[in-house]
Amino acid sequence: MARIEFRNLGHAYGKNPQAPEDFALQPMNMVWEDGGAYALLGPSGCGKSTLLNIISGLLVPSHGQVLFDGKDMTDTPTRGRNIAQVFQFPVLYDTMTVYDNLAFPLRNRKVPEAEVHKRVHEVAEILGMKDALKVRASGMSADAKQKISLGRGLVRKDVSAILFDEPLTVIDPHLKWQLRRQLKQIHQQLKLTLIYVTHDQVEALTFADEVVVMTNGKIVQKGAPDALFERPDHTFVGYFIGSPGMNFYPVRVDAQDTAGIYIGNDRLAVDPDRVSQLKRAQGTLSMGIRPEFVELAPAGTEGALEAEIRHVQQLGTCQLVTGTVAGHPLKGKLETSVPVQAGRHWLRLARPQTIFFCNDERIAQ
């Protein structure tokens, strides 16, 4: 396995890129640690496949370098990189048995048959496919075929990294959950460098030690799942992670007011240190609060505002309320102990978990 490093690495498909939007991948420095399990998460078109293809060598970046264990591999073609890749759809030989499919990447590299036998059985055991080793792949379901593809990715011990490009897309939801757990287990056992591309946040958060969130060709945060939830570095992370995502409000400060901020015409009492931090920031200010941290408060409470709640939905573990505050949309997940009716209520929004952003980047918490 390898430590993979990007040095000022970026990619533009067109010639002479000038503005950030000319890049499918904006120039970045980044390290993928040896043995790390990473999920690469972002919406369609944000640059995930471009990044993966640069690691695997299918694409030579227009800018910067990619290094494996300190060695410059930027121009090394795929076959020289020792990367295993698992794609969205099964890649295998239909006419071969499961055993021969799993053995293929090893036999291709002239691994002795005794070792092939051992590895194939280990991987088949992990994937729960031991009883199917003699079965021909042609008659198998899409799920089973994709499991074999995963196995083909996992069977070699000598790879620099295994890249997964949305590998569970074709898998049935129940099996998906099982396979995700198995992949996590495999990672813990074998300490592989895994990079797993997905646009599904549940998949990313359950699989990875570190989640890398991308938007518009840029990595906006790399962190543990709880950090992405509690301390998003960028409004996009607040919006993209969580269900529903974070509430955002445009914020104004008043030179004369040292203990409050303004959302529309409503004043929200806020810790004076935060107010002075916001006054120092140069740019467009906003405040974010996750629905999970919104709470009911007595009328007139410091740090609370009056909100109009329009809908209340009982979700069992919480009440999901939808409405507006200071003319802006609001979603809150309130605890179930106090049943809430639609109407006007005071809600505490200035809380330790409330995050402030300047030009979409976190400045204070």
Compute the least distance from the CB of residue 219 to ligand ATP, in Å. 12
**Among the listed residues 2, 24, 106, 144, the single contact to ligand ATP using CB under 6 A:** 24
160 near ligand ATP, rule: CB under 6 A: no
**Among the listed residues 16, 18, 44, 243, the single contact to ligand ATP using CB under 6 A:** 44
Compute the least distance from the CB of residue 21 to ligand ATP, in Å. 9
Identity of the amino acid at 72: D
Residue linked to tokens 């200071």: 326
Compute the least distance from the CB of residue 303 to ligand ATP, in Å. 39
The residues, any chain, with a CB within 8 Å of residue 192's CB and separated by 6 or more, are: 1, 35, 37, 154, 159, 161, 162, 186
Stretch that binds ligand ATP, among 47-55, 126-134, 175-183, 284-292 (CB under 6 A): 47-55
49 near ligand ATP, rule: CB under 6 A: yes
242 near ligand ATP, rule: CB under 6 A: no
Q: What is the 3-state secondary structure (H, E, C) of the chain?
A: CCCEEEEEEEECCCCCCCCHHHCCEEEEEEEECCCCEEEEECCCCCCHHHHHHHHHCCCCCCEEEEEECCEECCCCCHHHCCEEEECCCCCCCCCCEHHHHHHHHHHCCCCCHHHHHHHHHHHHHHCCCHHHCCCEHHHCCHHHHHHHHHHHHHCCCCCCEEEEECCCCCCCHHHHHHHHHHHHHHHHHHCCCEEEEECCHHHHHHHCCEEEEEECCEEEEEECHHHHHHCCCEHHHHHHCCCCCCEEEECECCCCCCCEEEECCEEEECCHHHHHHHHHCCCCEEEEECHHHCEECCCCCCCEEEEEEEEEEECCCCEEEEEEECCEEEEEEECCCCCCCCEEEEEECCCCCCEEEECCEEEEC
Stretch that binds ligand ATP, among 39-47, 244-252, 264-272, 288-296 (CB under 6 A): 39-47
Compute the least distance from the CB of residue 214 to ligand ATP, in Å. 7
**Among the listed residues 20, 45, 80, 343, the single contact to ligand ATP using CB under 6 A:** 45
Compute the least distance from the CB of residue 304 to ligand ATP, in Å. 40
Compute the least distance from the CB of residue 44 to ligand ATP, in Å. 3
d(CA 167, CA 90): 9
- Closest CB to ligand ATP among 130 and 199? 199
48 near ligand ATP, rule: CB under 6 A: yes
**Among the listed residues 41, 46, 144, 211, the single contact to ligand ATP using CB under 6 A:** 46
Compute the least distance from the CB of residue 228 to ligand ATP, in Å. 18
Identity of the amino acid at 126: I
x/- track of binding to ligand ATP for residues 1-20 (CB under 6 A): ------------x-------
Residues in the interface with ligand ATP (CB under 6 A) total 11
- Closest CB to ligand ATP among 198 and 319? 198
Compute the least distance from the CB of residue 42 to ligand ATP, in Å. 6
**Among the listed residues 10, 17, 36, 47, the single contact to ligand ATP using CB under 6 A:** 47
- Closest CB to ligand ATP among 48 and 331? 48
105 near ligand ATP, rule: CB under 6 A: no
d(CA 4, CA 192): 12
CA atoms within 13 A on the CB side of 28: 23
- Closest CB to ligand ATP among 48 and 119? 48
Which stretches of the chain bind ligand ATP, using CB under 6 A?
Answer: 13, 24, 42, 44-50, 199
